[in-house]
């Protein structure tokens, strides 16, 4: 990915992830792997974590301790019930 020099990389990564969620490329409950994203975008893990944190604040992603971050089912806020 070619990053825009005038915007933080984490915001640009968040934009890509947001688009993937909206298009259905990342369906509900899809694991959003930090390790894979670090490799894909060639950025530091902290950059990916900032992007995920932003999407979590927007309600698009939820995080489960010791399991990872997942796409939130549409129309729900917070972690879904099992």
Above 90 in pLDDT, residue 78?
no
Burial category of 72 from C-beta neighbours within 10 Å (exposed 0-12, middle 13-18, buried 19 and up):
buried
CATH of 9-71, one of 1.10.150.170, 1.10.10.10, 3.90.1150.10, 2.40.50.1070: 1.10.10.10
Residue tagged 């490329």 (tokens): 25
Helix (H) or strand (E) holding 66: none
Distance of CA 43 to the CA centre of its chain: 14
Reported as a pLDDT band with limits 50, 70 and 90, residue 9 is: very high
Global model pTM greater than 0.85: yes
Is residue 28's pLDDT more than 90? yes
Give 74's pLDDT tier (boundaries 50, 70, 90).
low
Phi, psi of 63 (to 5 degrees): -120, 135
Average pLDDT in the 14-25 region?
Answer: 97
Distances (CA, A) of 38 to 10, 51, 80: 11, 11, 26
5 has a pLDDT exceeding 60? yes
Whether the pLDDT of residue 62 is over 90: the answer is yes
Q: How high is the pLDDT of residue 42? A: 97
């Amino acid at each position: 990915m070619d990053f825009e020099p005038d915007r933080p990389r984490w915001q640009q990564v968040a934009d890509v992830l947001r688009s993937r969620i909206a298009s259905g490329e990342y369906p509900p409950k899809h694991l959003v792997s930090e390790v894979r994203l670090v490799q894909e975008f060639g950025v530091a893990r902290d950059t990916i974590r900032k992007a995920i944190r932003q999407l979590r604040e927007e309600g698009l992603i939820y995080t489960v301790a010791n399991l990872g971050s997942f796409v939130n089912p549409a129309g729900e806020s917070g972690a879904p019930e099992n």
